[in-house]
Structures are given as C-alpha cells and as structure tokens.
Amino acid sequence: MSRTHKKTSGWHTLLKLLFITVGAAMAAVALELFIVPNAMIDGGITGVSIILSHLSGWPLGLFLFVINLPFLWLGFRQVGRTFALSSLYGISLMSVVTALLHHVPAFTTEKVLALAFGGLILGTGIGLVLRFGGSLDGTEIVAIIISQQVRMSVGQIIMIINLFIFIAAGFLFGWDSAMYSIFTYYIAFKMIDIVVEGLNESKSVTIISTEFEEISEAIIKRLGRTTTFIYAKGGFLKEDLLMIYCVVTRLELAKLRSLVNDIDQRAFIAVEPVYEVQGGDFRKKGIH
C-alpha cells in the first residue's frame, strides 16, 4: 500500500472512531437524561438492560456491556473483526457515559418532550454508529442470523422481540409508560432510517474499477461474500470492462466501501436497496 493510501486509511479510521464516539455518547445522553428517568425503555438489548437495571438497582451501563458481549462474538463470526471491534468500542463507551450521567438530573420530566427528544437523539446516535460500521445493540445481529434460518425478514424478527420487551415494560412501569416507549422506539427507528439512508437488511452493490480482480478477491476473502462479474462496455470511451456485483447486509456496507477505497479510490460504487433475497446461496463463506 502506498504512503498516500496509508494516510487516507488513517484519516478514515480516525473519522470513523470520531463518529462512533459521538454516536455512542448521544445514545447514552438520550437514555440517562430523557428515556430512563421518565420510566420509558427502548427496544432490543437496551430495553432488556433498562428492565434488569430497574429490577436489580445495578447500573444500566453494566447490563448494556455484559449482555451485549455474546452478541459481539456472534457479530465477529458473522460480520467480521472490524465490525465487532467497532461495536465493542461503541458499546463500551456508551456504557461508561451512562454511568457518568447516572446521577445527573433528567433534562425534562414532561413525557411527551422526553419521548420526542429522547427518540431523536437516540436514533441519531445509533444511526451514526451503524453508518460507520458498528452497532450499539446485539438484537440486530441475532435477527440477521435467525432470518437466514427461517422465512422471516430481519425487521419482522426485531419487531417480535421488541413486542415481548414492551409487554414486559407494561407490567413493570405501567401501560402508559409502555405506550410512550413504543412512540420513543418509533421515532428512534425513523431517525436511524434517515441517518443510515435506509434500513433494508440487504444492499446490492455494483462496482466499476480497473482493479476488479483484486477487489473481487478481497470481498470474497475479507467479507465472505461471493461476487459476480458482469460484462459491460463504456459509453464514452467504448472500452470493454467487467463490473462487480454482490449483495451484502447493511452492517457490512461500511466495511465494503473501505475495502474498495483501499484498493482503488477512483472506483465507481453504486448501492441499491434489496427488499428480498431468494434463491442462490446468500450464506457467508469463511473470512480470512
């Protein structure tokens, strides 16, 4: 790798860490200063952590970190080392910041304001972490794995998991709080959608580069995804070329972009949503 590529990669890593830091801190602020003090919860592992913290009296950050650890291991096996390390950093930081903010008074005690701003801040924070290749909640990893075994989408599986969590919140905090929590979750979900530019479980990626063989080999080895070459002809220069086509999960998209840019910064990358994948073999191959 040339000195220019190393410098670019270094700045990319620094920028990635910066945005994951900001996203994790925003999520912690939303939880400790808006959502938890007003007896509301989020979905997924975060919601389970809030319930357990309420029942035991132990710090929320402790449960956020410990419960997510097994899912980080699954993320390492299914998505890759970079994703797992980014998620570990984000979850660890979120846990620490929640602990630091635990005794800070709530920003507002008005539930409508708390659910609105809490949802906005939480969704933006989670979205930033997802956009830059990490995750703050292991539920999505589990949903992706389960969806490969049953005929259900990732979104449907997450919705079923959260249904049980919100029912538990109704018994614990009261049904008014449970309903407020559902609105908080909905707002956060929409903000993630905006920040990440789509919550589709899969993305189709078309790559045009003169380094097509090296890029294809890197995708297969480092992402565990198969690729397809498509013969094409340039409209301007009329040269023959090969396009790379592959389908990845949205958690792998940031790593794919980084991988391609490390090889060819001038590569053309087109990303489109995939609402359903049928046929073929979409399971991951071994990652080197």
Reading the chain (288 residues) residue by residue, the pLDDT tens digits are 555 555 556 787 888 899 999 999 999 999 999 999 998 988 889 999 999 998 998 999 999 999 999 888 887 877 778 888 899 999 999 999 999 998 899 889 899 999 999 999 999 998 899 888 888 888 877 776 777 777 776 667 778 888 899 999 899 888 998 899 999 988 988 888 778 655 446 789 999 998 999 999 999 988 888 899 999 887 777 788 889 999 988 778 888 998 999 999 999 999 987 766 666 655 666 555
**Distance between CA 278 and CA 177 in Å, rounded?**
40
How many structural domains compose the chain?
Answer: 2
Assess whether 7 and 97 both reside in one domain: yes
Of 142, 161, 196, the residue that ends a domain is: 196
68: tokens are 């997510």
Mapped onto helix, strand or coil, the DSSP state of residue 270 is: strand
Whether 61 and 106 map to the same domain: the answer is: yes
Give the pLDDT score at 8: 56
Assess whether 264 and 184 both reside in one domain. no
Residue 178 lies in a domain: yes
| 284 assigned to some structural domain | no
Domain shared by 191 and 62, yes or no: yes
- Enclosing domain of residue 93: 3-196
Which of 167, 196, 225 is the last residue before a domain boundary? 196
CA-to-CA separations, 41 to 54, 184, 203, in angstroms, rounded: 11, 8, 30
Distance CA 123, CA 141 (A): 17
CATH number reported for the structural domain that contains residue 262 in this entry: 3.30.70.120
Q: Is 286 part of a structural domain of the chain?
A: no
Of 196, 229, 249, the domain-final residue: 196
The strand pairing partners of 231, in sequence order, are: 242
* Cα 282 to Cα 144, 208, 247, 249, distances in angstroms: 12, 22, 8, 10
One domain, residues 154 and 227: no
Residues 6+ away with beta carbon under 8 Å from 97: 24, 25, 28, 29, 32, 61
In a domain, 102, yes or no: yes
